Structure 1
Amino acid sequence: MRVLVTGSSGFVGSRLLKVLANKKSIEVLAAARRESFDHPVSVRVLKECELSPSMDWAPHLSGVDVIVHAAARVHVMNDEAPDPLAAFRAVNVQGTMKLAEQAASAGVRRFVFLSSIKVNGEGTTKGSAYSADSLPAPSDPYGISKMEAEQALRALAERTGMEVVIIRPVLVYGPGVKANFLKMMQWLDKGVPLPFGAIRNSRSLVALDNLVDLVVTCMEHPAAANQTFMVSDGDDLSTSELLRRLAHALGKPARLLPVPGWILKAAASLIGKNDLSRRLCGSLQVDISKTRDVLGWTPPISVDTALKDTALHFQESRKR
């Protein structure tokens, strides 16, 4: 089987390449913008592959059976584009559909699309959860662009017969994670007191290896065709519990101060950090029962094992 992976130099794509490279039955093609990045020697790199409406993918699609589309213009906290929605649409909708339409014309059998939980919205009430059948309610340009790409891909599948599988990940963490998760590890590693000891929210997360395992499952499972799946570790955590488990993985004490959540939210509002406050204090849960039932899939890595792997990589990288 020949598989093309886009976004192959990214956090998810690079890990997927390593997993696929160990499967003798799979020939792996990696589409990347950068001319050089760390990848298995058996992987053939397709250079200067830009996810844009003008990109011609046809020369790269001969004999490709499956595409895993992980490339995207990603969500950023402070987008400086003059028209963020137009910028997201150009890449995540128009660029995606240029690839998908040419893939269908080339006879690609299945298109696995990494979408986002932001298609569903920004949060849930504690104890409730987004499911694959929940109505989409994106509230930012990134989420809107991902929803529109999903809709266009489903229409393409109906029109051409190319199978489309949509996966909506929650926050992904693992060795090499960046952004807020990395900041949390840095704070804990330094022993910084953190004001999250009284936060009793509930958030779904997904370990990198769990997400990659589901992607590999969706590449071939017959029942995955034209389905949408939620993915998580299946073990939702409060921010305070996550910090305690992560501190334990780092071999550090968790110095958590019991500051009431309403005070944190008010302080965040004063300094224009409502989005960060929502991530740290709000709930966002997903229901993966459809993923379990339809695919017979269970997250292979536990939260504590994944946190230990993440912490170990963090500690080793600091020694280099």
Structure 2
Amino acid sequence: MKIVVTGTTGFVGKCLLPKLKDAGFEVLPISSKRLSEGDLSELNLATSRSSEKIYAIVHLGGRAHVIHEKDSDPAAAFRRANVDTTKILTEAAIRNEIPRFLYVSSIKALGESSNEKPLTAEDLPKPKDDYGRTKWEAEEFLKETSRSTSLKFTILRPPLIVGKGAKGNLDRLVSLVKTGIPLPFSGIRNRRSMVGVRNFCDAIVFTLKNPKTENGLFLVSDSSLSTPELFRFFSESLGIRSRLFYFPPSWMVFAGKLFGFRGIVDRLFGSLVLDASPLLSLGWNPTIPISEEIRALCSEPPQEKIS
């Protein structure tokens, strides 16, 4: 079966491609970056010249977190990359009678934290930044547009994705551990859901092949760790003695917010736990321990993300 896939050269995409091929899919890769710039040539070529009917579009590419922002209008850049490309692909799927659309969103479309109970797909979305808002807007467009057509959608919301080649905040944390500097995190009591990149790619293949996931929205995670546990995994994987010590978390939270590091403070000290049971109940079976993905992350240099 032929499928159109965006984001094939990114962190997740590089892991996903061989799994799709092993599952019997023929991949027609297109650039979501070009789509966001208004270049539809790859999409038109894929949909018009395929001798076999295309089974699905997998929209994986987009604009994620930017550590050193250079765009003069970040909100518009996020909207072009995440919302506009989804609109273009949804309309192409309907126009070409492609039956399935799988959209890789983010837990940030739902929110940034969980309280006493894990977040569920039924919770009211409360995105906090441009990335989360545009992911949620793209979800809403896909759901609303599909409602009056025969297009079947599946939306996946992963949390932090861990594995070989991961960049961004994960790579920065690994670099911090490599310095050997003692870190004041042993007193943090939180839980953060995450998913290994190989398990997440298996979830994408699983949903593509399972009709019970049609018109469904699923949170995808395979584990949850506290911040101290994550740093200890980093140290163990790097062969470095863990150098965590106790410092009152409330003092660090106050200082972090005082000096403008609220986002970092929320990720290090807050909890974000997901309920992935609906997808698990359908038969998705994550098999690779998160510790193995952390070892893979720590043993390899980061890859460039291109979408």
1:22 counterpart residue number:
22
1:61-72 to 2 correspondences below 5 Å? 61=47, 62=50, 63-72=53-62
Identify the range of structure 1 (141-150 vs 189-198) with the bigger mean alpha-carbon deviation: 189-198
1:277 counterpart residue number:
265
1:278-293 to 2 correspondences below 5 Å? 278-293=266-281
1:1-320 to 2 correspondences below 5 Å? 1-23=1-23, 25-32=24-31, 49-52=34-37, 55=40, 57-61=43-47, 62=50, 63-77=53-67, 79-125=69-115, 127-233=116-222, 235-293=223-281, 295-314=282-301
- Asked if the contact 1:88/1:145 (under 8 Å) is kept, the reply is yes
- Asked if the contact 2:67/2:168 (under 8 Å) is kept, the reply is no
How far residue 18 of structure 1 moved from its aligned partner, in angstroms, is 2.5
Q: Which has the higher contact order (CA 8 A, sep 6+)?
A: 2
Identify the range of structure 1 (71-80 vs 131-140) with the bigger mean alpha-carbon deviation: 71-80
Using the alignment, how far apart are the partners of 1:10 and 1:309 within structure 2?
16
- Asked if the contact 1:53/1:91 (under 8 Å) is kept, the reply is no
- Asked if the contact 1:114/1:167 (under 8 Å) is kept, the reply is yes
How far residue 211 of structure 1 moved from its aligned partner, in angstroms, is 0.8
- Normalised by the length of structure 2, the TM-score is 0.90
How far residue 91 of structure 1 moved from its aligned partner, in angstroms, is 2.4
Using the alignment, how far apart are the partners of 1:268 and 1:209 within structure 2?
34
SS in 2 for 1:13: helix
4+ aligned runs moved over 6 Å, structure 1: none
State the identity %. 36
SS in 2 for 1:160: coil
How far residue 90 of structure 1 moved from its aligned partner, in angstroms, is 2.4
How far residue 224 of structure 1 moved from its aligned partner, in angstroms, is 0.7
Letter in 2 for 1:28: V
Using the alignment, how far apart are the partners of 2:118 and 2:68 within structure 1?
28
- Asked if the contact 1:132/1:290 (under 8 Å) is kept, the reply is no
How far residue 197 of structure 1 moved from its aligned partner, in angstroms, is 1.0
SS in 1 for 2:156: strand
Q: Which runs of 5+ in 2 are unaligned?
A: 303-307
- Superposition RMSD in Å: 1.9
1:39 counterpart residue number:
none
Using the alignment, how far apart are the partners of 1:129 and 1:170 within structure 2?
12
2:305 counterpart residue number:
none
User: Could you give the per-residue CA deviations for residues 258-308 of structure 1, whole angstroms, max 9, x where no partner exists?
Assistant: 112112212222332110111111111101111112x21122211222222
How far residue 96 of structure 1 moved from its aligned partner, in angstroms, is 1.1
How far residue 309 of structure 1 moved from its aligned partner, in angstroms, is 2.3
Using the alignment, how far apart are the partners of 1:265 and 1:68 within structure 2?
39
SS in 2 for 1:14: helix
Cα distance, 1:77–1:123 mapped onto 2, change above 3 Å: farther
1:43 counterpart residue number:
none
How far residue 79 of structure 1 moved from its aligned partner, in angstroms, is 4.0
SS in 2 for 1:265: helix
How far residue 227 of structure 1 moved from its aligned partner, in angstroms, is 0.2
- Normalised by the length of structure 1, the TM-score is 0.87
- Asked if the contact 1:115/1:146 (under 8 Å) is kept, the reply is yes
- Asked if the contact 1:52/1:95 (under 8 Å) is kept, the reply is no
- Aligned residues between the structures: 297
- Asked if the contact 1:58/1:106 (under 8 Å) is kept, the reply is no
